[in-house]
Structure 1
């Protein structure tokens, strides 16, 4: 079993924008991360009055799990730092309940569908107690250093 760093080590995010608690697994074509919906967790600033997380956070949780996948592979390829990735959009994103319940452990799993040097497509699913809570496909873009300099 591999020991993984904290998710923010693989992402270009700092608190409170890192929405993941831990990395469970990364393979050549998938990643699995977890986050707790709790008043004392990383999602606390985003919870509603009932302690629930709005469903639209699903796209960012899935995207950050993709970012962990990319960052882990970048670091294991010997790169000094992880790059900035961009979420191009989502397709078929569904969160039937509209919210993630309070005090729930969310398992986010992504699977690589297609990737070239710049564009990636991943299928994502968020489960709680083995029940599907949200799912959809995200498309990402990995800009090179010149593109980032022009953008910023």
Structure 2
């Protein structure tokens, strides 16, 4: 894993505002990344019981995005938008993550095709390494995300 000082998470992911759920990228290399998030005490998705564990899927996807952004910047390219396509075997040890809990999100690239399709093994841990959620997620990073979105939009009037 990279021992270089990492720049703020906003430099690695295209997410902004309330949709940026991660706090920081802790480490990255060619095959994996580790990010951190402290479950907020208020805000988007939060319930009285805490953050629903299904939001962990987005924590995982944003960590993959940070990994992709880190790799792009390392190669002198711009950070690109990507898409979460789906998951397999998402399992959570609890229904909610308690507010204030610091979570570590780990992603491992299992496959990344030249066509932008990828598969990642992901896990979320609490302080002390206790595993709270796991999943395998599929992602797609088109070569030009903005053009891809524009070309996929229905024509006006349809």
Same-fold status (TM-score > 0.5): yes
Map Cα deviations across residues 15-44 of structure 1 (whole Å, 9 max, x no partner).
11011001100011000000001327xxx3
Structure 1: runs of 5 or more not aligned = none
List aligned pairs for 1:2-151, cutoff 5 A. Answer: 2-39=4-41, 44-50=43-49, 52-79=50-77, 81-117=78-114, 118-129=116-127, 130-145=129-144, 146-151=147-152
Runs of 4+ more than 3 Å apart: none
Structure 2: runs of 5 or more not aligned = 154-158
CA distance in 1, matches of 2:30, 2:40: 31
Map Cα deviations across residues 86-124 of structure 1 (whole Å, 9 max, x no partner).
111010001121111122100000001011121110000
SS in 1 for 2:18: coil
Which structure has the larger Rg? 2
What is the number of equivalent residue pairs in this alignment? 147
CA distance in 2, matches of 1:140, 1:54: 22
SS in 2 for 1:16: helix
1:149, CA displacement in angstroms? 3.4
